[in-house]
């Protein structure tokens, strides 16, 4: 059996910095202008591109991550979102074949394209190249028996150069050149375009993307791209949903409200994870630790996601009312999950981006500080070293870390291990109804963790403690 046709394409590249993010954004805008309902996806654990696509392009975006999600789960989550649009555009991560630790194909864009059986358009920065592009492309085509590379976009070249190279490439390979991108001064996007202050730059970024879409309308063969997307075959039917039992066990008719920190300082959440909470019957109630004075009324749990609290440390400190409300709630036993930026917010003190220390919620009696480097980066597995309300000794879940701040008290409720190499370290604080630490966790791949959190929230709500 097979599910319905889902036109889809992946934009990948030989390396980071090739321009695939800018081309993806411009293409999404162009498709929207032409009457399509595009859905965006980002390979890997990155939060920034999905936020960018959702809030600047107004295009829903989800993560596709084959380290977190096994094949059947990745397909199921993709189908759920893709079926709501007319075409899906998947942006690759790093180099096309770059996976775990730089030594494996696992978790690479190629693996994601294989799992989702998706045609790939390679974006090559061809500036300063001519026939060498054909040699580079042939290497990518032959590296794996089924590379899935069906199209090519030449970036940073003139119309004349693109025309010459198109003739050579299509003569020497089976890959169709579906367009080129010239140097666009008015549509120049930073490599980390979202930066740290999205709301301040949203209009400027929209203008840049509109300018890029204007260019791409003239230089891309949109019909050829749509044709490649439509060549994607039907995905195999996935077997029973592994989260059904957790969802059923968590649902009740009683009302459940969970507060979720959402503003410029706290914005890193996997939307598929939030969907899981909603399926379990939770209403996610947004609040701003920057602006709101009190927690939302009637909540029975707290989600404090990642983000950039260090860039807003002074404003967070000035909002003493919210800091005290969060501390009081956690001390009274309100279930709380805090990741990375949310974990920093729970500290006694946080060193801001300006180098000064600022008081935070004070739940964790320690200082969080700038480490001056990427403290820990990449995929990890987490093994619980003790029994708690969230994780039981010996249970293993997968996570991801990326941060330049560190803590005097990272916790020792879990052991983190890199999937490639021998590096291990203690992390996570699991104490009472609190689970906090630097690792980001992808809940759809560990639904039992979401189920336990929801169960704790329901128990807390039934006691009426949230009104204390």
The dihedral through the CA atoms of 376, 378, 383, 389 has a sign that is positive
Active-site entry in 340, 414, 427, 457: 340
Q: What are the structure tokens assigned to 96, written together?
A: 């096309």
- Phi and psi (nearest 5°) for 205? -65, -40
Known catalytic membership, residue 340: yes
Catalytic residues: 340
């Amino acid at each position: 059996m097979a599910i319905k046709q889902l036109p889809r394409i992946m934009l990948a590249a030989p390396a980071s910095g090739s321009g695939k993010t800018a081309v993806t954004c411009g293409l999404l805008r162009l498709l929207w202008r032409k009457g399509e309902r595009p859905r965006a996806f980002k390979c890997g654990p990155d939060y920034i591109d999905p936020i960018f696509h959702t809030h600047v392009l107004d295009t829903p975006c989800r993560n596709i991550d084959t380290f977190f999600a096994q094949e059947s789960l990745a397909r199921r989550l993709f189908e759920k979102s893709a079926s709501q649009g007319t075409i899906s555009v998947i942006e690759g991560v790093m180099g096309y074949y770059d996976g775990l630790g730089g030594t494996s194909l696992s978790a690479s864009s190629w693996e994601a394209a294989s799992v989702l059986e998706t045609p790939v358009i390679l974006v090559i920065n061809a500036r300063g190249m001519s026939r060498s592009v054909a040699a580079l492309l042939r290497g990518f085509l032959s590296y794996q028996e089924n590379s899935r590379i069906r199209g090519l976009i030449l970036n940073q070249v003139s119309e004349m150069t693109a025309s010459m190279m198109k003739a050579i490439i299509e003569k020497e390979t089976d890959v169709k050149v579906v367009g080129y991108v010239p140097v666009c001064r008015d549509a120049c996007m930073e490599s980390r375009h979202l930066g740290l202050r999205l709301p301040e730059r949203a209009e400027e970024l929209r203008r840049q993307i509109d300018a890029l879409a204007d260019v791409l309308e003239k230089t891309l063969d949109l019909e050829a791209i749509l044709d490649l997307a439509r060549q994607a075959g039907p995905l195999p039917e996935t077997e029973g949903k592994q989260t059904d039992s957790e969802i059923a066990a968590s649902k009740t008719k009683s009302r459940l409200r969970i507060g979720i920190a959402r503003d410029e300082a706290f914005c890193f959440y996997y939307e598929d994870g939030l969907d899981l909470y909603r399926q379990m019957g939770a209403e996610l109630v947004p609040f701003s630790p920057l602006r709101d004075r009190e927690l939302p009324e009637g909540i029975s749990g707290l989600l404090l996601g990642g983000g950039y609290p260090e860039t807003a440390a002074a404003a967070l400190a000035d909002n003493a009312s919210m800091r005290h409300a969060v501390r009081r709630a956690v001390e009274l036993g309100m279930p709380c999950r805090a990741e990375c930026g949310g974990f920093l917010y729970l500290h006694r003190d946080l060193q801001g981006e300006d180098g000064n220390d600022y008081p935070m919620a004070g739940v964790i009696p320690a200082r969080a500080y700038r480490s001056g480097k990427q403290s820990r980066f990449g995929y990890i597995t987490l093994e619980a070293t003790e029994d708690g309300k969230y994780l039981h000794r010996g249970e293993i879940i997968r996570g991801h870390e990326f941060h330049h701040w560190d803590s005097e008290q990272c916790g020792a409720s879990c052991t983190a291990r890199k999937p490639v190499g021998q590096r291990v370290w203690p992390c996570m604080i699991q104490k009472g109804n609190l689970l906090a630490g630097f690792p980001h966790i992808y809940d759809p791949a560990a639904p039992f963790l979401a189920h336990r959190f929801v169960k704790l929230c329901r128990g807390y709500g039934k006691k009426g403690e949230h009104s204390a």
